[in-house]
Structure 1
Amino acid sequence: MKRESLIRTLAIGATALVASNAAFASPSLEELTQDLKKMQTEVDKLQKQIQSLAAKQEARDAKQEVGTANEWPQSDSLFHMTGYADVGYVNTEATEGSFTVGSFSPIFHFQYRDLVMLESEMEIEVGDDGETEVALEYLVVDWFINDYMTLMGGKFLSPIGQFRQNLHPSWINKLPSAPPGFGHDGAAPVSDVGLQLRGGFPLGSVRTSYAFYVSNGPQLVAEMEEEDGEIEYALDGVEAEGFGSDSDGEKTIGGRLGFIPFAGFELGISAASGKATVTSIHEGDSSLLSGEAARDYDVIGADFNWQYQGFNLRGEYVETKVGADTGEGTAASEGATWTTWYTQAAYRISASKWELVARYTDFDSPHDSQDQEQSALGVNYLFSSNFIGKVSYEFNDGLLESDADQDRVMVQMAYGF
């Protein structure tokens, strides 16, 4: 309104000026042209002043809205949510087929400048009994020290090998299942609670990555065996799933070094060492435990990954060894070793969304009922880069009539968001 009023006033003034000049003399065409140019110049100046005033007012209004907002008043703070989910169908030789809800795993990132970030993943699943199970997969605070180094504190995925820290999300894993020995109670650690220093740096023409950590130690599970009327104990498994307390006060140190000598190929070596103590008895009364000694706990691993156009070949090896307890503890027993390795090949058919996958795994544990050799074949269809459909058949060879000996068909739809 102010702008229109000013323009109208200027026009009236100009008209009056022209009329006044006409009353005393007849102006020439050149004089009229100059007068019009002067009028246009004044109008342009006035328009710029009005636009400047309007822009300043908009800026003041926006600043006031930001200042009174309840969320994210600081532009230095960023929030990002991602994650993945999957559903499927499983049919084994010994049971009827069932539809499944694999998991819903939202991942949250809260970052302040280039200084610090909190990242966390929750895992929400539906159990066989229909109950909803919620777990904290990881939660860490990352301090970005520089371009080559980040210090992480909290619960983090184990950096031993590649599968657990990089490949386990269902929309990334090329088969519906994890390789035997790389899940819970397997040979490969799952997660840790402690501090981790990770990053990467160039080494000549070779790129490298590293991850070193110190964490609470794992816990051991014993089992009771009755032989000739006497009860004996043996190790049943290793629980390396990031405990919030250290029952024996012994810490584990470990890490991984990765080397990328040329584009598309990576080679990694991993190791961890510490102590672990028996804290529970499988299907038994854990209150019977007394005087358990801390045992040696050692892990070694190696992995490789080669990507060439639509072809991918990768493999991993992990060995976990627990020493003997020769003391007076209730569950004192010999040591035990768990080993697993797999090799996987995948080929994306050219100019299509179809992918073929084959994987072989050999898992060896101290118990015959858990040993398993598995050959898995799969066909995938990539609806998009983050939405994949999978069909696989697993040929499982284990102790006769055990779960490890049951072949199965798996169908899965996985979505990363």
Structure 2
Amino acid sequence: LRQEVETLKTKVKETFPGTTKFLLAGYGTAGFTARSGEDPFFDASFNALFLFKMTDRLFFEGEMELEFEDEETTINLEVAQAAYLLNDYMTIGVGRFLNPMDFFVERQHMNWVNKLPDKPLAVYDGLLPESELGGQLRGVIPIGPTKLEYVGFVANAPGLITTTDDFSELGMLDFDNDANFGGHVAVGGRVGFIPIPQLEIGYGIQRSKVGPRDHAVENILQSVDFNYVSDSPFLKGLINFRAQWGWSHVGDFVYDPDGSQGFGPLEFNNNRNGGYVELAYRPTHIDNDYIKNFEGVFRYDRLNQLHTPVGFDEQRWSIGLNYWVTPSAVLKLAYEFDDKNGGARNQDAFLMQAAVGF
């Protein structure tokens, strides 16, 4: 009887005002880009993140992006996920969530976190999807003084681009396959090992079939990442070293089999890879209130796709200087040296960005 009374008290208490919690967070960005061969332009965007705690175990997360482009405002649903805490080591989530196998997308893509005004090649809006629509199971397992992060997920598979006005897109993946044309399911996950608090090494994979149901081919996406952050008294500052590389494999497929599109039949597989290496240093131990807020950044990123319909590889060297106004507000300047082969035009760029997280 006592247990029943306590249970009833708990249920009644949960109906009282103030037992749920709501948090509005997000970030805003304004930027300028001057890229060789293109008209310079300003841009702005705003991301609103809604966090709702309904009970000690049940949560909801939503993120909406508002961006001004092509003379109009676009609204995108980035995240819409309900999560339930099963125990201290396991959480289940369903809905639309950031791609768990891509470290940069899940943890570094936010403009006030990303060290440079633009995103690296391949790992963002390139070889790997930005988000998944499905369900995930994730958690952290302590192993002595170390930790092992894990996540597994099932989601809609990407679509395969088999007809397009742009021949270079042939054989690429359509990650916005919300209606799941083809009826395929993607299965994937990531494990991250944290031997010391400053270091994490991870590996992610996603496998699925793509293409028409009766002519489906295999798609394998893989990613490895290395992330080291250290506050070094010897170097009198904060060191950030990050690297990530991704691979995309699409099996042999016959495009335009009857020749109606004017280029087939054409059979090929689509294998691409790329990633980035980034080093940042901020002299946080310098006894000067202005100098300690500056941060130097260097990034090398690359996308290998010469032997695909795109027809060229691209690599970039980026040098940046940031000034941290507050811990979540930063001003960025960067210059990007671009190099393409295969006869494609190089496009160096000057970039500026102001980003504020809240």
Q: TM-score, normalised by structure 2?
A: 0.85
Q: Which residue is 1:394 aligned to? A: 336
| Within-5 A mapping of 1:132-171 | 132-171=73-112
Q: Within 2, Cα distance between the matches of 1:112 and 1:329?
A: 53
Q: 1:89 aligns with which of 32, 48, 59?
A: 32
| Within-5 A mapping of 1:199-278 | 199-222=139-162, 235-241=170-176, 243-277=177-211
SS of equivalent to 1:333? strand
SS of equivalent to 2:107? helix
Q: Which residue is 2:138 aligned to? A: 198
Instruction: For 1:387, give the aligned amino acid.
Output: A
For 1:295-354, what per-residue CA distance to the aligned partner results, in whole angstroms no more than 9, with x for missing partners?
101011110111121111110011010111259966873210121121100000233100
SS of equivalent to 1:164? helix
Larger radius of gyration: 1
Report deviation, 1:265: 0.5
Alignment size in residue pairs: 325
Change (3 A) 1:400 1:408: farther
Instruction: For 1:268, give the aligned amino acid.
Output: G
**Alignment check: 8 A CA contact 2:171 2:250 kept:** no
Instruction: For 1:93, give the aligned amino acid.
Output: S
Report deviation, 1:224: 6.2
SS of equivalent to 1:199? strand
C-alpha RMSD of matched pairs (Å): 2.5
Change (3 A) 1:109 1:162: same
Report deviation, 1:161: 2.8
Change (3 A) 1:332 1:75: farther
- Greater shift after overlay, 267-276 or 90-99? 90-99
**Alignment check: 8 A CA contact 1:293 1:327 kept:** no
| Within-5 A mapping of 1:226-375 | 235-241=170-176, 243-277=177-211, 293-309=215-231, 310-325=238-253, 333-350=267-284, 351=286, 352-365=292-305, 366-369=308-311, 371-375=313-317
Q: Within 2, Cα distance between the matches of 1:174 and 1:157?
A: 19
* Structure 2 gap ranges (5+): 1-14, 232-237, 259-264, 287-291
Aligned residues with identical type, % of pairs: 29
Q: Within 1, Cα distance between the matches of 2:274 and 2:304?
A: 6
**Alignment check: 8 A CA contact 2:168 2:310 kept:** no
Instruction: For 1:112, give the aligned amino acid.
Output: M
* 1:111 counterpart = 2:111: no
Q: Within 2, Cα distance between the matches of 1:363 and 1:327?
A: 24
**Alignment check: 8 A CA contact 2:239 2:281 kept:** yes
- Greater shift after overlay, 73-82 or 248-257? 73-82
- Greater shift after overlay, 72-81 or 338-347? 72-81
For 1:245-295, what per-residue CA distance to the aligned partner results, in whole angstroms no more than 9, with x for missing partners?
2212221100000000012001001111111116xxxxxxxxxxxx86211
Q: Within 2, Cα distance between the matches of 1:264 and 1:233?
A: 41
Q: Which residue is 2:235 aligned to? A: none
**Alignment check: 8 A CA contact 2:322 2:333 kept:** yes
**Alignment check: 8 A CA contact 2:49 2:64 kept:** yes
Q: 2:319 aligns with which of 362, 367, 377?
A: 377
Q: Which residue is 1:98 aligned to? A: 41
SS of equivalent to 2:162? strand
Instruction: For 1:86, give the aligned amino acid.
Output: T
**Alignment check: 8 A CA contact 2:123 2:245 kept:** no
Q: Within 1, Cα distance between the matches of 2:172 and 2:139?
A: 32
Instruction: For 1:248, give the aligned amino acid.
Output: G
Give the strand-richer structure, 1 or 2. 2
SS of equivalent to 1:323? strand
Q: Within 1, Cα distance between the matches of 2:33 and 2:78?
A: 24
Q: Which residue is 1:75 aligned to? A: 18
Report deviation, 1:222: 3.0
**Alignment check: 8 A CA contact 1:324 1:332 kept:** no
Using CA pairs under 8 Å that are at least 6 residues apart, name the structure with larger relative contact order, 1 or 2: 2
**Alignment check: 8 A CA contact 1:292 1:332 kept:** no
SS of equivalent to 2:267? coil
Change (3 A) 1:223 1:97: same
Instruction: For 1:305, give the aligned amino acid.
Output: N
Change (3 A) 1:362 1:267: same
